[in-house]
Amino acid sequence: MRAVVMTGIGGADRLDVVERPDPIPGPDEVLIDVAVAGVNFMDIGVRRGIAWTEMPNPKVLGVEGAGRIAAFGEGVSGFEVGDRIAWVYKPGSYAERLVAPADALVPIPDTIDDRTAAAIMMQGLTASHFATDFYPVQPGDVALVHAAAGGLGQLLTQIVKLRGGSVIGRVSSEAKVEAARRAGADHIIVDSEGRFTQDVLALTSGEGVHVVFDGSGPKTFEGSLSALRRSGTFCWYGPVLGGPGPIDIMSLPKSIKLGYAVFFDHIPTPALLRERTARLFDWIAQGKLKIEIGGTYPLAEAARAHADMESRHSTGKLLLIP
């Protein structure tokens, strides 16, 4: 099979397409023919040496996708060869074939195509965690969503709106305004330098927002803090783009609540993974959640997908097609 490996820590030029033997499923594992692999900032983080450093190089990148069951290891029940399934947080997805534990798989309903299924695994479950668990958005809440035209930002915007909130979206360029608007953002601020706070305060009669969703790196942190109203919530989530460094807790203003939200806490068990993915599939089937595929790339062009995401030119979800 072909797979995309990182040969070492560095830029997109450290990705190589190689031939490898097909993996063999062990007990309780399944061999999957990968139809679609999702591209996530996390993959860029792995490539930059921020995560999975304990796994030796060359390692196959990618953590999510959709495909078909090709074979089983011992002890697997409840699946047939040919079943359509999706997964998240399983290393090695930038490949034609992948072995994953059976309990990490979710069945894809007939109403959902492979690309849509792959697109919502990481970013959909993450957005669902942030807006329904970490900060359960209430009707009337105003949310500030950073990178609102990105895959995660578009889904967050839609889930906030589904729950009766309104959204101020921040994007880095005029070229992204339409994508954020299509996702349902009520107001859009164009800013890539961390100067958005005054605009947010002006849009909220000086009060600030109920919740900020910010994974956009150190440049936005202070501004996001200042854009919150009293007792507001700061949902911080971006280890790859970087954090603010150590914080003196006594410097936090206005009784705000600040936390690092991690998508895995939404799906800590196979039952919750299935339940919460099924809710996303239902929202899509009912037309409540729309997925914008911002780019599809052949597997061999994974480096171009990384470069597009890192250069801040992409919108929506990027996918690799083996």
Helix, strand, or coil here: 284? helix
Yes or no: say if 152 and 183 are a contact pair by the CB < 8 Å rule.
no
312 binds ligand NAP (CB under 6 A): yes
Q: How far is the CB of 5 from ligand NAP (least distance, A)?
A: 20
Q: Where are the beta strands (DSSP E) in the chain?
A: 2-6, 15-19, 29-38, 59-60, 64-72, 84-88, 97-101, 105-107, 142-146, 166-171, 187-190, 209-214, 228-236, 257-260, 293-298, 317-321
Q: Which residue number, 106 or 152, has a Cβ lying nearer to ligand NAP? A: 152
Yes or no: say if 146 and 213 are a contact pair by the CB < 8 Å rule.
yes
Q: Which residue number, 115 or 176, has a Cβ lying nearer to ligand NAP? A: 176
Q: How far is the CB of 273 from ligand NAP (least distance, A)?
A: 14
Out of 32, 240, 302, 303, name the contact with ligand NAP by CB under 6 A.
240
102-123 b/e with 16+ CB inside 10 Å = b?
bebbbbbeeebbbbbbbbbbbb
Q: Which of 247, 201, 199 is nearest to 221 (CA)?
A: 247
Out of 106, 117, 142, 152, name the contact with ligand NAP by CB under 6 A.
152
Count the residues in the chain.
322
User: Which residue type sits at 265?
Assistant: D
CA 66, 71, 75 angle in degrees (round to 5)?
A: 110
Name residues contacting ligand NAP, limited to 12-41 (CB under 6 A).
40-41
150 binds ligand NAP (CB under 6 A): yes
Q: Which of 89, 95, 86 is nearest to 6 (CA)?
A: 95
Which region among 6-14, 199-207, 235-243, 297-305 touches ligand NAP (by CB under 6 A)? 235-243
Out of 12, 32, 241, 291, name the contact with ligand NAP by CB under 6 A.
241
Q: Which residue number, 84 or 197, has a Cβ lying nearer to ligand NAP? A: 197
Q: What residues pair up with 290 in beta bridges, in sequence order?
A: none
272 binds ligand NAP (CB under 6 A): no
Binding mask 162-201 for ligand NAP (x = CB under 6 A): ---------xx---x-------------------------
Out of 47, 63, 84, 126, name the contact with ligand NAP by CB under 6 A.
126
Which phi and psi angles does 189 have, rounded to 5°?
A: -110, 130
Q: Which residue number, 130 or 283, has a Cβ lying nearer to ligand NAP? A: 130
221 binds ligand NAP (CB under 6 A): no
Helix, strand, or coil here: 188? strand
Q: Which residue number, 105 or 183, has a Cβ lying nearer to ligand NAP? A: 183
Task: Please give the residue whose beta carbon sits closest to ligand NAP in the complex.
Answer: 150
* Residue corresponding to tokens 């206005």: 254
224 binds ligand NAP (CB under 6 A): no
123 binds ligand NAP (CB under 6 A): yes
What's the first-to-final CA gap in the chain, in angstroms?
A: 10
120 binds ligand NAP (CB under 6 A): no
Residues of this chain that bind ligand NAP (CB under 6 A): 40-42, 122-123, 126, 147, 149-153, 171-172, 176, 215-217, 237-241, 261-263, 309-310, 312
